[in-house]
Structure 1
Amino acid sequence: MNHQLTSTQAFWLGHLHHAFSLGQSLSRYAHEQGLSFADLMVWRQRLMIQKIVVPDMHRPNRFVSVAVVP
Protein backbone atom coordinates (compact mmCIF):
# COMPACT_ATOMS: atom_id res chain seq x y z
CA MET A 1 0.00 0.00 0.00
CA ASN A 2 1.44 3.34 -1.04
CA HIS A 3 0.95 5.91 1.63
CA GLN A 4 2.19 9.48 1.58
CA LEU A 5 3.50 10.30 5.05
CA THR A 6 2.93 13.63 6.70
CA SER A 7 6.00 15.35 8.13
CA THR A 8 4.88 14.38 11.64
CA GLN A 9 4.40 10.74 10.70
CA ALA A 10 7.81 10.71 8.99
CA PHE A 11 9.43 12.28 12.07
CA TRP A 12 8.16 9.59 14.44
CA LEU A 13 8.64 6.73 12.00
CA GLY A 14 12.22 7.88 11.47
CA HIS A 15 12.83 7.74 15.21
CA LEU A 16 11.30 4.26 15.44
CA HIS A 17 13.56 3.02 12.64
CA HIS A 18 16.62 4.67 14.18
CA ALA A 19 15.97 3.07 17.58
CA PHE A 20 15.56 -0.32 15.91
CA SER A 21 18.75 0.09 13.86
CA LEU A 22 20.66 0.91 17.05
CA GLY A 23 19.20 -2.12 18.80
CA GLN A 24 17.97 0.03 21.66
CA SER A 25 14.80 -0.25 23.68
CA LEU A 26 12.39 2.56 22.93
CA SER A 27 12.57 3.84 26.49
CA ARG A 28 16.37 4.14 26.35
CA TYR A 29 16.28 5.65 22.87
CA ALA A 30 13.67 8.23 23.89
CA HIS A 31 15.70 9.20 26.95
CA GLU A 32 18.93 9.58 24.95
CA GLN A 33 17.20 11.61 22.24
CA GLY A 34 15.34 13.87 24.65
CA LEU A 35 11.97 12.54 23.48
CA SER A 36 8.96 11.60 25.52
CA PHE A 37 8.72 7.82 25.76
CA ALA A 38 4.93 8.14 25.98
CA ASP A 39 4.82 10.18 22.76
CA LEU A 40 7.02 7.65 20.99
CA MET A 41 4.71 4.81 22.05
CA VAL A 42 1.56 6.75 21.10
CA TRP A 43 2.96 7.47 17.64
CA ARG A 44 4.05 3.86 17.21
CA GLN A 45 0.47 2.79 17.90
CA ARG A 46 -1.03 5.50 15.66
CA LEU A 47 1.19 4.49 12.75
CA MET A 48 0.28 0.83 13.19
CA ILE A 49 -3.45 1.69 13.23
CA GLN A 50 -2.93 3.65 10.00
CA LYS A 51 -1.43 0.47 8.47
CA ILE A 52 2.04 1.99 8.24
CA VAL A 53 4.72 -0.64 8.73
CA VAL A 54 6.78 0.08 11.83
CA PRO A 55 9.87 -1.84 12.92
CA ASP A 56 9.68 -4.34 15.74
CA MET A 57 10.64 -3.10 19.18
CA HIS A 58 14.00 -4.25 20.44
CA ARG A 59 13.46 -6.23 23.59
CA PRO A 60 16.70 -6.97 25.39
CA ASN A 61 17.02 -10.30 27.11
CA ARG A 62 15.79 -9.94 30.65
CA PHE A 63 17.10 -13.27 31.82
CA VAL A 64 20.59 -14.65 31.56
CA SER A 65 21.29 -18.34 31.78
CA VAL A 66 23.73 -19.30 34.49
CA ALA A 67 25.49 -22.50 35.39
CA VAL A 68 25.40 -23.49 39.04
CA VAL A 69 28.53 -25.29 40.14
CA PRO A 70 28.18 -27.35 43.31
Structure 2
Amino acid sequence: MSRDLNSTQAFWLGHLSYAAALQLPLSAYAETQAVTLADLMAWEKRLIVQGFPVPPRCRVAVEVVA
Protein backbone atom coordinates (compact mmCIF):
# COMPACT_ATOMS: atom_id res chain seq x y z
CA MET A 1 0.00 0.00 0.00
CA SER A 2 1.42 3.35 -1.04
CA ARG A 3 1.07 6.31 1.30
CA ASP A 4 1.72 9.95 0.65
CA LEU A 5 3.92 12.03 2.90
CA ASN A 6 2.35 15.08 4.48
CA SER A 7 4.37 18.31 4.45
CA THR A 8 5.81 17.78 7.93
CA GLN A 9 6.88 14.22 7.20
CA ALA A 10 8.42 15.35 3.90
CA PHE A 11 10.33 18.14 5.68
CA TRP A 12 11.95 15.74 8.15
CA LEU A 13 12.52 12.95 5.64
CA GLY A 14 14.22 15.53 3.43
CA HIS A 15 16.58 16.47 6.24
CA LEU A 16 17.35 12.82 7.00
CA SER A 17 17.94 12.07 3.32
CA TYR A 18 20.19 15.08 2.87
CA ALA A 19 22.26 14.15 5.94
CA ALA A 20 22.67 10.63 4.51
CA ALA A 21 23.60 11.99 1.06
CA LEU A 22 26.25 14.22 2.62
CA GLN A 23 27.46 11.25 4.66
CA LEU A 24 27.22 13.28 7.86
CA PRO A 25 26.28 11.95 11.27
CA LEU A 26 23.00 13.46 12.43
CA SER A 27 24.81 15.39 15.17
CA ALA A 28 27.08 17.12 12.66
CA TYR A 29 24.22 17.73 10.26
CA ALA A 30 22.06 19.30 12.99
CA GLU A 31 24.87 21.76 13.79
CA THR A 32 24.79 23.05 10.20
CA GLN A 33 21.00 23.31 9.96
CA ALA A 34 18.24 25.03 11.91
CA VAL A 35 17.19 21.73 13.50
CA THR A 36 18.06 19.90 16.68
CA LEU A 37 19.57 16.46 16.97
CA ALA A 38 16.67 15.44 19.22
CA ASP A 39 14.14 16.43 16.55
CA LEU A 40 16.05 14.57 13.82
CA MET A 41 16.21 11.42 15.90
CA ALA A 42 12.57 11.64 16.98
CA TRP A 43 11.38 12.09 13.40
CA GLU A 44 13.64 9.29 12.18
CA LYS A 45 11.99 6.93 14.64
CA ARG A 46 8.49 8.27 13.91
CA LEU A 47 8.89 7.84 10.14
CA ILE A 48 10.21 4.30 10.56
CA VAL A 49 7.23 3.38 12.78
CA GLN A 50 4.88 4.91 10.20
CA GLY A 51 6.42 2.64 7.55
CA PHE A 52 8.34 5.16 5.47
CA PRO A 53 11.77 4.21 4.10
CA VAL A 54 14.38 6.19 6.00
CA PRO A 55 17.97 6.24 4.70
CA PRO A 56 20.60 4.64 6.92
CA ARG A 57 22.57 6.92 9.18
CA CYS A 58 26.20 7.75 8.62
CA ARG A 59 28.08 6.36 11.59
CA VAL A 60 31.43 7.58 12.80
CA ALA A 61 33.86 5.14 14.36
CA VAL A 62 35.22 6.29 17.70
CA GLU A 63 38.29 4.83 19.28
CA VAL A 64 38.57 5.06 23.05
CA VAL A 65 42.10 5.08 24.40
CA ALA A 66 42.48 4.19 28.05
Question: Normalising by the residue count of structure 2, what TM-score does the alignment of the two structures yield?
Answer: 0.89
- For 2:61 and 2:22, locate their aligned partners in 1 and report how far apart those are by CA, in whole Å: 15
* Identity of matched residues, %: 48
Aligned to 2:32: 32
Residue 5 of structure 1: how far off its partner (Å): 0.3
User: Number of residues paired by the alignment?
Assistant: 63
In the aligned structure 1, how far is the partner of 2:21 from the partner of 2:32? 15
User: How many Å apart are 1:3 and its aligned residue?
Assistant: 1.1
Q: After TM superposition, what 4+ stretches of structure 1 lie above 6 angstroms from structure 2?
A: none
User: What residue in structure 2 maps to residue 55 of structure 1?
Assistant: 55
Q: How does 1:7-46 map to 2 (within 5 A)?
A: 7-46=7-46
Tell me the SS of whatever aligns to 1:34: coil
| Residue 61 of structure 1: how far off its partner (Å) | 2.2
When Rg is computed on C-alpha atoms for both structures, the one with the higher figure is 1
Per the alignment, residue 66 of structure 1 pairs with none
C-alpha distance in 2 between matches for 1:59 and 1:36: 18
